[in-house]
Structure formats: C-alpha cells, structure tokens
Amino acid sequence: MKVTMVMLTSVDGKTTKGNDTNIYTWSSIEDQKHFFSLIKKNNLIVMGRGTYEASKPVIKLEKGKLRIVLTRSPKKYFKQLVRNQLEFSNETPKKLIERMATLGYKKILLVGGATINGLFLKHNLVDELYLTIEPRIFGIGKNITEGQLLNKSLQLISIKKLNKTGTLLLKYQLNK
C-alpha cells in the first residue's frame, strides 16, 4: 500500500502557530488548493485525533471517501462515527494498512499529526512526503513528528514555488 504524507510547516519547522492548531489562519491559498486537491484524489485519509479535532469544521464527509482517525479512545467518538465515511480506530499503523489492503484500498493519504506521523515513519510505512513550507517563523509550535526517535533519509523529487511570497512545495521519496 502506498502511503503519502502531506504536511505544512513554517520555515522554522512548526506545524502550528504556538498552541493555535488552526492552520488556515496562516497557510497560503495556494497550499490549501494543493491540500484539497490531494483530498479530492484520495479515497482513504488517515489522521490523528488532534488533527481531526482541529479539522472538524472543514471536513466534508462524502460517500466513497473514508477518513480514519487514529486515537487511543475510539469509543469516545462513537456518536460521531459514520460508517464508510468517518471511523475511529486504535489500531497500529501496520494493522490499519493490512486491514485496508484486504478491503481493496491501494493508497493512503496521511494528514497528521505529529504522533501519527512519527509512528508511520518509525515503521517505514511512508513512501512519499509532500511538504509545504510557508515563509513564516513562529518559534513555538508543534513539529512534523513527535514521540519517536527517527533517522530517515529522503530523496528530493521536486520543488515548486507556489506564490510570490515564496511558499514552497517539496516532494520527497522516503528511502526505505
């Protein structure tokens, strides 16, 4: 199964502006277009609980598109569950991939957050990374990964300047 991670950071590598998890207050329109084009192209999207909580206002459920939220407490979200559209699981990334493969899925779009990203990377499950770098410096905020000691090597595939202010879209392949 192909796993594509997509993340947005400031120049200093922060995925949040301090404690503010609303990336739409500082991400460029061009990055948002790129992100939502990836959402449109993928029918299996995986995220962590924190990303789900931060993204709830913009998530539009639709038939044929499954979003899975990895959380330690899936029962807590039972009332929000929408079968085959929004599901909650405490599976390991490897078990999730195995289960999704048996259901016929061929690719996953991994949209964060830091803990989930770290788990997928630790177990060599990520194939490629789209990383948007916004020309901002926050100093304080969350990182792309958290909770795992990692030493991953990547190969740059492409660089694209998205706008006049210098928002960059980098595409990497992970060396496994």
Q: For residue 70, is pLDDT > 90? A: yes
- Residue 138's pLDDT is 98
What type of residue is 42?
Answer: N
- Residue 170's pLDDT is 98
CB 12 within 8 A of CB 134: no
- Residue 141's pLDDT is 96
Q: For residue 169, is pLDDT > 90? A: yes
Proportion of the chain above pLDDT 70, given as a percent = 100
pLDDT band, very low/low/confident/very high, at 147 (cuts 50, 70, 90): confident
Q: For residue 175, is pLDDT > 90? A: yes
- Residue 25's pLDDT is 93
Q: How far apart are CA 6 and CA 38, in angstroms?
A: 9
pLDDT tens, residue by residue, 20-67: 999 999 999 999 999 999 999 999 999 999 999 999 999 999 999 999
- Residue 176's pLDDT is 86
Kindly state the average pLDDT of the residues 135-150: 95
Write b or e for each residue in 125-164: b if 16 or more Cβ atoms lie within 10 A of its Cβ, otherwise e: bbbbbbbbbbebebeebbbbbeeeeeeeeeeeeeeeebee
- Residue 116's pLDDT is 97
CB 96 within 8 A of CB 125: no
